[in-house]
């Protein structure tokens, strides 16, 4: 059943992003790379998905250094990387 309603704001509950998954979606050699980023929550639940295309100086700065892509995506999302936990 489809019910029309008057336009009203809908506020989603606040969820904490605890990890992201970055995957190359498209690569045009010497031109651009498009990455898909999946944001995951505390119980590994899906929160959202965003796509970024790096071209121009963003693309050339990548230079196959995946750390650059991680830093770029984290900056775009306003997130910081958690320290790596080493278990013995």
Lowest mean pLDDT among 20-24, 48-52, 60-64, 68-72: 60-64
Write down the domain spans for the chain. 17-77
Under the banding of pLDDT at 50, 70 and 90, the label for residue 64 is confident
What sign does the CA torsion over 26, 32, 34, 35 have? positive
Question: 12 pLDDT exceeds 90?
Answer: no
Mean pLDDT of 82-86: 83
Phi-psi group of 17: left, alpha or beta (phi > 0 → left; psi -120 to 50 → alpha; rest → beta)? beta
User: So what's the pLDDT on residue 40?
Assistant: 96
Distance CA 68, CA 64 (A): 8
pLDDT single digits (tens) 34-56:
999 999 999 999 999 999 999 99
Tokens of 18: 């605890």
């Amino acid at each position: 059943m489809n019910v029309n309603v008057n336009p009203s704001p809908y506020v989603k509950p606040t969820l904490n992003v605890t990890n992201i998954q970055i995957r190359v979606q498209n690569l045009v050699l010497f031109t651009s790379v498009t990455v898909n980023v999946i944001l995951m929550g505390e119980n590994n639940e899906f929160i959202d998905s965003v796509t970024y295309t790096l071209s121009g100086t963003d693309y050339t700065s990548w230079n196959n250094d995946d750390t650059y892509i991680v830093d770029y995506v984290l900056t775009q999302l306003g997130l910081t990387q958690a320290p790596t936990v080493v278990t013995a």
